[in-house]
Amino acid sequence: MQIFYEPEIVENGGYLDPVESNHCVKVLRKREGDVIHIINGQGQLFEAEITNANARRCQVRILTETKEDPPAYVCHIAFAPTKNIDRTEWFVEKSTEIGIGIISPIFSMNSERRNLKNDRLDKIITSAVKQSGALWRPVLNELADFKTFIKQSFTGDKFIAHCHEDGDKPHLQDVVSRAKDTLVLIGPEGDFGPDEVKMARDLGFRSVSLGSARLRTETAALVACHIINLKNA
């Protein structure tokens, strides 16, 4: 099933945006009368008929609509983007396919990357949503400072994954709750600093482990995302 993404398909009178219009008409050679499927990233899937195969502004008529309730939980991963942007993009793509709810890039004392272009990541999310058939598009937040980020108000459980000795540090899979919003902090290649771990714990974050292996940032972030989703499968 070929899926197109248009967040304003209902409000804009049934038009695909220029990028999707070009892909639909020029690349896939769709014509008037052809039926396509469109998602809006807000839990709706539309079956639509092309009424004007314009490569810049393809118009469609909605035939049917399917709605999906929002997930009973939100998987929220806050991670430090890697120096090699390809690895960050890999995490964004794969976590979207798995079913992440919120992606929050952060930078801490050991971060090697302190700038990030969300435009590129947004395109990757759109592609991954279409490929996976997910009806709910994840939220991508702007890059934020670690200290500022952790002081925000969050619902549900919140954890910080790190490699420091920290007393009783359970594995994430043993403490994740079903049907409950969950936030996990993932640090940079050099890990969070001890002071950052203490700061997070003082604000209610619980220290957790992701296993005995030392994982790369993007791997750790994806493992955390997968554990949360498996708990809610």
- How high is the pLDDT of residue 18? 96
CB burial of 78-102 (b: ≥16 within 10 Å; e: otherwise) equals: bbbbbeeeebbbbbbbbbbebbbbb
Q: pLDDT 10s digit of each residue in the chain, 233 long?
A: 889 999 999 877 799 999 999 999 999 999 999 999 999 999 999 999 999 999 999 999 999 999 999 999 999 999 999 999 999 999 999 999 999 999 999 999 999 898 999 999 999 999 999 999 999 999 999 999 999 999 999 999 999 999 988 777 999 999 999 999 999 999 999 999 999 999 999 999 999 999 989 999 999 999 999 999 999 98
190 HSE (CA, 13 A, CB side): 11
Write the CA distances from 60 to 11, 19, 39, integer angstroms: 13, 15, 13
Taking the C-alpha atoms of residue 40 and residue 232, their distance in angstroms, rounded to an integer, is 24
Counting every residue, how long is the chain?
233
- Helix (H) or strand (E) segment spanning residue 103: strand 102-107
- How high is the pLDDT of residue 99? 95
Angle (CA) 187-95-230 rounded to 5° is: 95
Taking the C-alpha atoms of residue 169 and residue 205, their distance in angstroms, rounded to an integer, is 12
Residue for token digits 């942007």?
Answer: 85
What would the CATH number be for the domain defined by 75-231? 3.40.1280.10
- Helix (H) or strand (E) segment spanning residue 63: strand 59-67
Helices (H) and strands (E) in the chain, counts: 7, 11
Taking the C-alpha atoms of residue 46 and residue 12, their distance in angstroms, rounded to an integer, is 14
> How many C-beta neighbours within 10 Å does residue 51 have?
13
Taking the C-alpha atoms of residue 198 and residue 178, their distance in angstroms, rounded to an integer, is 27
- How high is the pLDDT of residue 159? 98
Domain limits of the chain? 3-67, 75-231
- How high is the pLDDT of residue 52? 97
Tell which CATH classification among 2.60.40.10, 1.10.8.10, 2.40.240.20, 2.40.50.100 matches the domain 3-67. Answer: 2.40.240.20
State the maximum Cα–Cα separation within the chain, in Å, rounded to a whole number: 65
In contact, 137 and 99? CB cutoff 8 Å: no
Residues 6+ apart with CB under 8 A from 123: none
